[in-house]
Amino acid sequence: MAHDLNRIQYVILNILKKNKAIDHMHSMSCNEICEIEGRNKVSTIYKHIRILEDYGYVTRGAKIERANGYILTKQALAILPKTECIVILP
């Protein structure tokens, strides 16, 4: 079942994919995702990760210090493009 994802949710999924967060060893915390994303607060990232968890696109990985780490599921990898598209804006 396809879900309507918003921009920040796609950004989160792409950050996890680019950082190879597909196994427990490479899980990423909300803080790490927030530092890369650079526009939203950690609480906003966490809110959207919880939504992505409910959709089955993200699951908890290994703990990073005291924070939860998150990884992509096979379902998320299936909806993301296989290759990166580079768009050059004028």
Which tops the pLDDT comparison, 4 or 44?
Answer: 44
Give dist(CA 8, CA 4) in Å, integer: 12
Q: How far apart are the first and last CA of the chain?
A: 36
pLDDT of the residue at 81: 78
Question: pLDDT tens-digit profile of 31-68?
Answer: 999 999 888 899 999 999 999 999 999 999 998 889 99
Percent of the chain with pLDDT over 90: 63
Written as one letter, the residue type at 53 is E
Environment class of 32 (CB within 10 Å of its CB; exposed 0-12, middle 13-18, buried 19+) = buried
The rounded mean pLDDT for the chain is: 87
When pLDDT is cut at 50, 70 and 90, the band that residue 73 belongs to is very high
